[in-house]
Amino acid sequence: MWEEQLKVAIQAGVKAVKPILEVYNSPFDVEIKDDQSPVTLADKTADYIIRKYLFDKFPNYAFLTEESFDDKSRLNNDYVWIIDPVDGTKNFIARNGQFCTHIALAFKHEIVVGVVIVPLTGEIYYASKNKGAFYRHNNVTKRIYVNDKTDNLIVLRSLSHATAREDEVIAKHHDKIIKQEKWGSSLKACRIARGLAELSYRLSEGTKEWDTAVGQIIVEEAGGIFLDPNKKRLTYNRKDTANHDGYVICNRIENFLL
């Protein structure tokens, strides 16, 4: 049902890769937004390119993006593109490569299409409702699945947002968790969807809808779990876009460890 929207979302993301990398590979300025988060020319340029491409193809759909004014008329639209043109701006600034482009489509508060593009490597992760999750690299596409491990777990931590509460939870379950790795942006969700790790936490405020939308559908379509700490599914196109309680990502519900 969502094949055309998925195709267009991938095309929009791919169009933004070149201008993102042009900024990345050149000297650039960093601005600080009102919420104290950083922004660069790459964020702004990619946001414009993606929105224009999507609008040209689906002019009746609304938008919610990190880098644009939040037009609340979206709340009256069943179809809303949710975009983070450069997720992991701090990693972009640090030039460590761990940043992504996010494009998701919400239909009646549920994500039905999600695309993650890793500009530096050309990797693409994507999923659509009830059609599975996929990974494309070097012109090879394969369907991806979470693994079925319930012990000897690898937990993925944020490069820049790890908290003491997460430290406590991981220490509590030291008998099941054997390794911690640090990854940026939605790469944590994507690695769990590929079966390369089993668990990831964000047990604090700070993320918004555009941070979690793509990861949620990719993980779920790969057979995994993406819930808030109260085991409730995240909904989208909300008036308040903040994910106040954070989230837990895991390969199996048995590994929902708190």
Instruction: Give the domain range for residue 224.
Output: 153-255
pTM: 0.96
Q: What is the pLDDT of residues 120-147, one digit of tens each?
A: 999 999 999 999 999 999 999 999 999 9
Q: What is the pLDDT of residues 39-52, one digit of tens each?
A: 999 999 999 999 99
Positions of the chain with pLDDT lower than 70, given as ranges: none
Q: How many CB atoms lie within 10 A of CB 103?
A: 31
Are residues 35 and 118 located together in one domain of the fold?
yes
Are residues 85 and 186 located together in one domain of the fold?
no
Q: 10 to each of 55, 90, 96, 102, how far by Cα in Å?
A: 14, 24, 24, 10
Instruction: Determine contact, residues 38/31, Cβ cutoff 8 Å.
Output: yes
CATH number at residue 189: 3.40.190.80
What 3-state DSSP class applies to 47? Answer: helix
**Token pair belonging to 78:** 């069943």
Question: Considering only CA atoms, which of 243, 247, 213, 2 is closest in space to residue 104?
Answer: 213
According to the model, what pLDDT value does residue 225 have?
98
What is the domain count for the chain? 2
CA distance 209 to 211: 5
Are residues 40 and 134 located together in one domain of the fold?
yes
CA distance 110 to 112: 6
Are residues 183 and 139 located together in one domain of the fold?
no
φ and ψ at 228, to 5 degrees? -80, 170
Are residues 132 and 36 located together in one domain of the fold?
yes
Q: Is the torsion defined by CA of 241, 242, 245, 247 positive or negative?
A: positive
CATH number at residue 60: 3.30.540.10
According to the model, what pLDDT value does residue 163 have?
83
According to the model, what pLDDT value does residue 230 have?
95
